[in-house]
Chains A and B, each alone.
Chain A
Amino acid sequence: MIEFNMEDKYLVCSFPERLDTNYCAENSDELLQKIEESGREVIFDLQKTAYISSAFLRICLQISKEKGRECFSLTNVCPSVKKVFKIAGFDKLMNIR
């Protein structure tokens, strides 16, 4: 499950611990729909997340393309997940904190 919260001009999406292929397949439609409907800047809160899959990277890439670097960021990223974004070169495409 994804938790969605509206905070000022942001839509904050909080994710669980493991974002594997199955999880992304089950939740991506809802996630993309909420983002589109909100029309807000998007923050992914990865405080609880310890593992991400290729599918989640793809979702991030898609949102980054749609929203642009200024309107899409990831927060509370743990070191091992930060390393994934760094190796993939995504730190140039989105704000990762």
Chain B
Amino acid sequence: MDEARVVNPDEVMEKSVRAAAIFSQLDQEHTDRITRAVYEAGFNHRVKLAKMAHQETGMGSWQDKVIKNVVATQLVYEDIKKLKTVGIISEDDERGIVEIAQPIGPILAITPVTNPTSTVIFKILIALKTRNPIIIRPHRMAVKSSIEAARICYEAALQEDAPEDCIQWLAQTSREETQALMAHKNLALILATGGGGLVKAAYSSGTPALGVGAGNVPVYIEPSADVTFAVEQILMSKTFDNGTVCASEQAIVVERCIADKVIGEFKKRKGHFLSDEEIKHLEAVAFDRERGVMNLNIVGKSARVIAKMCNIEVPSDVSVLLAPLKGVGYEYPLSSEILAPILAFYIVDDFEEAVKLCIDLNFHGGIGHTVSLFSNDEERIKQFACLMNAGRIVVNTPSSQGAVGGIYNTLHPSFTLGCGTGGKNITTDNVTATHLLNIQRIARRRINERIGRFDTSLYFNESLDANTIEQQFNRNY
């Protein structure tokens, strides 16, 4: 595919539709061969692609991007490899229901700058496992590495006689071209991961879309938690790829009774607590007040580099920058989502105050995404979880790795984390292959016994109310 040419949405879709047509004939065995070949190719190029992504975007670390590529290949493959995705996938004789999996058709994948190659491979794997052609539209700052990931996957797929053009990629598309593709009549689904504007455009296109909303993950360290463990886990998560995962912790909430211990543990691990003056410097650099979002130039940068950008003096081995804040909202820019090793820090008096603050943080740009809790009190874990609006409430877990799934819990490994209706998504699930199927059901005749024996003429007697009818309907002779 010529990287410089103008994109003709009709031409791209025509090819994709033809690939979908050929895909319709493939059996499970052939589909699985293609999926395995793509997984192996992606996995075998994990280091090269990670280095390319790091070099191109200047974000994160190549070593952590290798791990992301491993999750996107090995863990995703392990999760989906035995999944039935072709033809009859279940038969329930008792209920008389047979389920048949059908592909949904061409998918447009919008992929981000923060996890470019891993997201590309992940979306390709789940698309091919479900016999759907996919068109990759990468972030403008990660075109080269994203396209290389797609190309590697495509060549591997063709080796297993996958349909031509089952994977396509667009080097550079104008806003109009992207919108034309999104709204194209032959497109089945948009898998959108990216900035808010792009995700909103996907939802507004008229084509079904699974989009990822923004996160703003509060992490509450409850007094029953193992504080040392909690701080270690949070740091491991927040410094992973310099905080580029949208499920990474954004704000620490602790009760006064353990605050000193938490602060001490962070300091022991090279966390730098910012003064009020330093917070002002950081806000100016890290946050675009006009647009109400983080500045792209600090995304995925290390704490040391960001501190330097703000003229804040820190030791060279600083791990994170912690900003003690008094409130939540745009007047406190560091209470918003910032994909870098920066954490807001709050001290509260008790559980109730902690939960209320986490609700504020959760609703400040992160509805439906992820919240995190460190606790050993089962009751409080459940109380806390029931009051949050989050698809994932990760417990005693590094949030970045925990929300993505497959390492610290049994959530499906995914680079598309559904945020529910709060995030304008149709699902709170970790999106995976099962979301890319149309399930048809053969429904055999199984008469509802209660209807069979119920005297339906009673429906026409106006004097009988709902309770009387219900009693008759459910009568157990």
Does A pair with B?
yes
Which A residues have a C-beta under 8 Å from some C-beta of B? 20-21, 51-55, 57-58, 80-81, 83-89
Q: With the chains together, A51 CA to B24 CA distance in Å?
A: 10
Q: With the chains together, A47 CA to B306 CA distance in Å?
A: 68
Contact assessment for A57 and B18 in the assembled complex, using a CB-CB cutoff below 8 Å: yes
Chain A neighbourhood of B165, CB < 8 A: 54
Interface size on B, residues (CB 8 A): 13
Chain A neighbourhood of B24, CB < 8 A: 80, 83-84, 87
Within the complex, the shortest CB–CB distance from B22 to chain A, in Å, comes to 5
Contact assessment for B21 and A84 in the assembled complex, using a CB-CB cutoff below 8 Å: yes
**Ranked 7 nearest A-B pairs via Cβ:** A54-B164, A88-B21, A87-B21, A84-B21, A88-B18, A54-B163, A54-B22
Q: With the chains together, A7 CA to B431 CA distance in Å?
A: 55
- Decide: A54 near B18, CB < 8 A? Known: A20-B161, A21-B161: yes
Q: With the chains together, A83 CA to B20 CA distance in Å?
A: 11
Q: With the chains together, A54 CA to B24 CA distance in Å?
A: 12
Q: Which of B409-426 contact A (CB under 8 A)?
A: none
Chain B neighbourhood of A86, CB < 8 A: 21
Contact assessment for B17 and A89 in the assembled complex, using a CB-CB cutoff below 8 Å: yes
Q: List 22 A-B contacts (CB under 8 A).
A: A20-B161, A51-B25, A52-B22, A52-B25, A53-B22, A53-B161, A53-B164, A54-B19, A54-B22, A54-B163, A54-B164, A54-B165, A57-B18, A57-B21, A80-B25, A81-B25, A83-B24, A85-B21, A86-B21, A87-B17, A88-B21, A89-B14
Chain B neighbourhood of A84, CB < 8 A: 21-22, 24-25
Chain B neighbourhood of A52, CB < 8 A: 22, 25
Q: With the chains together, A21 CA to B110 CA distance in Å?
A: 30
Q: With the chains together, A96 CA to B360 CA distance in Å?
A: 61
Chain A neighbourhood of B19, CB < 8 A: 54
Chain A neighbourhood of B18, CB < 8 A: 54, 57, 88
Within the complex, the shortest CB–CB distance from B188 to chain A, in Å, comes to 11
Chain B neighbourhood of A58, CB < 8 A: 164
